[in-house]
């Protein structure tokens, strides 16, 4: 008997601004909001082999152009929220927020995932970009991952099947997306780990513009330096194009100060790169992922 999709939603011409942390972006031809793994598997089997597919979580670290996305966008953060102890590992599905993973691990007397509390996204996104902060990276603590391919088949893969680098992960098997991961963490003290998380979040609140829509860090830190320092030294703090502004609080953040378009943000990113190259002699590498078409 053929399987059917039960509770998930398939929307057409859906504006993506509401699904991204910058609150900008055009429409997706199709938007699939997964409610469970079974539905997602059934849906993936219906896709044409040439259909462009994009998976997103909380839409942080992502810029969707004003012309929207041709193809299908799969939203994961409302589904795949399982979080559990699995033997000696912590298992977290792709829709679990990084902050929730950090706190859960601490309460289960595991240490090593505290830094995840500073990542404003989901486990799936953290895996896809090797997200990190405060000197730690996601793939430092990955043991295995669960993926799904275009045919709806799932695969358990070891961390050795991937090549991680700074804010990037190379997948040796193309056209697969992350569904979850088993994290290898050391034994720890819950109180100590929770205190570390609290201090980390206080530092983040004090140093980052969390009251305005942003996508986190715009550029990767060059080796031995900080993108924010280079941008600030180039006189760009507060610089604005349309509704996009280099945050006066943290120069590596672009904030939406109102009526912002994706083009405003993209033009500001380009201006920041050009200015830092001209004044500091450093080529900044973009951390933000850009998808879609121009209006």
Predicted structure pTM score:
0.91
Q: How far is CA 203 from the centre of its chain?
A: 20
Quick one: fold of 9-75?
3.30.43
Reported as type and span, the H/E element at residue 232 is helix 227-233
Query: Mean pLDDT for each consecutive 10-residue tract of the chain (295 residues)?
Result: 68 96 97 92 92 93 97 89 96 96 97 94 94 91 97 96 92 89 96 96 93 95 95 98 98 97 98 98 96 96
In contact, 44 and 23? CB cutoff 8 Å: no
* pLDDT score for 78: 74
167 classed as catalytic: yes
pLDDT at res. 6: 66
What totals of helices (H) and strands (E) does the chain contain, helices first?
A: 6, 20
Active-site residue (options: 167, 176, 193, 234): 167
Give the whole-angstrom CA distance, residue 187 versus residue 143: 16
At 72 the pLDDT is: 96
State which fold the 227-291 domain adopts.
3.90.78
Rg for the chain (alpha carbons), in Å?
A: 19
Measured distance CA(68)–CA(12) in Å, rounded:
12
For 16, which DSSP code? S
Task: Out of 93, 137, 176, 287, pick the active-site residue.
Answer: 287
Which residues are 184's β-sheet partners? 89
Domain ranges in the chain are 9-75, 83-207, 227-291
136 labelled catalytic: no
Q: In 3D, which of 263, 278, 268 has the Cα closest to residue 26?
A: 263
Report the distance separating Cα 145 and Cα 164, nearest Å.
13
Which residues have CB under 8 Å from 191's CB, separation 6+?
none
**Could you tell me which residues come within 8 angstroms of residue 283 by beta carbon, excluding any fewer than 6 positions away?**
273, 277
Fold entry, domain 83-207: 3.30.465
Query: Which of 60, 105, 217, 234 is the catalytic position?
Result: 217
């Amino acid at each position: 008997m053929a399987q059917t999709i039960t509770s998930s939603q398939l929307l057409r011409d859906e504006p993506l601004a509401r699904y991204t942390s910058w609150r900008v972006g055009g429409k997706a031809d199709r938007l699939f909001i997964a409610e469970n793994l079974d539905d997602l598997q059934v849906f993936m089997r219906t896709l044409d082999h040439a259909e462009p597919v994009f998976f997103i979580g909380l839409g942080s670290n992502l810029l969707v152009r004003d012309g929207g996305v041709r193809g299908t966008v799969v939203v994961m953060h409302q589904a795949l929220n399982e979080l559990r102890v699995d033997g000696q590992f912590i298992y977290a599905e792709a829709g679990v927020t990084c902050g929730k993973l950090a706190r859960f691990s601490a309460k289960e007397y595991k240490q090593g995932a505290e830094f995840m509390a500073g990542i404003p996204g989901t486990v799936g996104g953290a895996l896809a970009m090797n997200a990190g902060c405060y000197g730690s990276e996601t793939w430092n603590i990955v043991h295995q991952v669960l993926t799904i391919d275009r045919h709806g088949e799932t695969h358990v893969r070891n961390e050795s099947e991937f090549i991680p680098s700074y804010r990037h992960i190379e997948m040796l098997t193309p056209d697969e997306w992350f569904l979850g991961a088993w994290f290898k963490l050391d034994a720890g003290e819950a109180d100590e780990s929770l205190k570390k998380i609290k201090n980390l979040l206080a530092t983040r609140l004090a140093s980052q513009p969390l009251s305005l829509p942003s996508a986190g860090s715009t550029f990767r830190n060059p080796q031995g330096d900080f993108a924010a320092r280079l941008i600030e030294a180039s006189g760009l703090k507060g610089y604005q194009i349309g509704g996009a502004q280099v945050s006066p609080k943290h120069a590596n953040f672009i904030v939406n100060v109102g009526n912002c378009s994706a083009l405003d943000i993209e033009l500001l990113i380009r201006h920041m790169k050009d200015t830092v190259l001209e004044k500091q002699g450093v080529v900044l590498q973009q951390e933000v992922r850009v998808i879609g078409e121009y209006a």
